[in-house]
Amino acid sequence: MTAPMIRDIALRDRVIVALDYRDPSQARALVKQCESHIGFYKVGLELFMADWFYTVDWLIERGHQVMLDLKYHDIPNTVAGAVTQAARHRIRFCTVHARDTLIGAAVQASSNTEILAVTVLTSVAATSDNVEEKVLARARRALAEGGAGIVCSGHEISRIRTELGDQPIIVTPGIRPFGCGGADDQRRVVTAGAAVAAGADHLVVGRPLTKAVDPLAVIEVMQEEIVKTVDG
C-alpha cells in the first residue's frame, strides 16, 4: 500500500491543545504555558458554556488558531445559524455531527471557517459494531456535502486515506504519549507518531496535557515523535 501523503503543516500547528476546563482562568493558564510551542487550541462544550466566545476571542487576539468543538447536531437551519455566529469569530475549524443535511447546511453558512464532520466518538470501543465502516460511510457523505475534513480516531485513518485519498483534513483525538494507555473514557487511542504516519493532519491532545505536571515536556516528546515520523 502506498504511504499516505504527509501534509506540510507547521510543527506548532500539528498538535491542537484541548482546553477541557470549566474554569476559563485554568484554560488561559495552560495556553500561556504552551504557546511557545503550540499555536492551535480546541474550545469544547464545557469551556464554551463557561464563558461563551471570550476565550475564543482571547486566543485569536494572541495569534492562535481555534477549533470550536461543539459538535452541532440539530435541524439544518439551526446548525447553519450557529455556524454563522461561530464564523464571525475567525474560527479555523468548527465541528458538526456527520449527517448529510447538517454538513451541507453548515458548509453553506461557514464563510472562511472549515467544517469538520464528527464521525464516531473515540469513547466508542473498536470492538463495537462496524466502527470502521461507520466512520468511512459518514466521512464519504460529509465530504460529498462539501465538508473540509473529518474527526476520527487513529484506528480508522489508514482506511480513510486508502478510500478517500489525500484531500480531506483528518483531525485525530485520543492521542496518548508512547507507553501511556491511560485509564479514562477514551477507547480508540494511538500515539502522535502513529497517527501522523497513518495520515492524520492534526492531533487533539487533552488530558495528557491538562493533567501533566509539566505540559511542555509532554508536548516536546510528542513533537519529537512527529518530526521523526515526518522526516522518515
Candidate from 21-25, 100-104, 140-144, 180-184 with smallest mean pLDDT = 180-184
> Residues 65-104: pLDDT tens digits?
999 999 999 999 999 999 999 999 999 999 999 988 999 9
Residue 114 belongs to some domain of the structure: yes
CATH of the domain at 79: 3.20.20.70
Residue 39 belongs to some domain of the structure: yes
Residue 65 belongs to some domain of the structure: yes
Residue 126 pLDDT grade (very low, low, confident, very high; cuts 50, 70, 90): low
For residue 139, give every residue at least 6 positions away whose Cβ sits within 8 Å of its Cβ, in sequence order, or none. 98, 117, 119, 150, 152, 160, 164, 168
Average pLDDT of the residues in 179-197: 72
Beta bridge partners of 169: 149
User: What pLDDT sits at residue 62?
Assistant: 98
Q: How many domains does the chain have?
A: 1
Q: Is-contact 128 153, C-beta < 8 A?
A: no
Residue 1 belongs to some domain of the structure: no
* The model's pTM: 0.93
User: What pLDDT sits at residue 1?
Assistant: 52
Residue 5 belongs to some domain of the structure: no
> Residue 77 corresponds to which cell in the numbers above?
437551519
Residue 44 belongs to some domain of the structure: yes
For residues 105 and 101, give the distance between their C-alpha atoms in angstroms, rounded to a whole number. Answer: 6
Q: Is-contact 191 178, C-beta < 8 A?
A: yes
Q: Tell me the Cα Rg of the chain.
A: 17
User: What residues make up the domain containing 37?
Assistant: 12-231
For residues 228 and 232, give the distance between their C-alpha atoms in angstroms, rounded to a whole number. Answer: 6
For residue 21, give every residue at least 6 positions away whose Cβ sits within 8 Å of its Cβ, in sequence order, or none. 27, 30, 46, 47, 50, 210
- From the candidates 32, 42, 71, 228, which is the catalytic residue? 71
Given a cut of 60, is residue 179 above it in pLDDT?
no
Residue 4 belongs to some domain of the structure: no
Residue 3 belongs to some domain of the structure: no
Candidate from 137-151, 167-181, 188-202 with smallest mean pLDDT = 167-181
In the residue annotation, 71 being an active-site residue is answered as: yes
Provide the mean pLDDT of the chain.
Answer: 92
Average pLDDT of the residues in 38-50: 97
For residues 95 and 4, give the distance between their C-alpha atoms in angstroms, rounded to a whole number. Answer: 24
Number of helical (H) and strand (E) elements in the chain, helices listed first: 11, 8
User: What pLDDT sits at residue 78?
Assistant: 98
User: What pLDDT sits at residue 128?
Assistant: 62
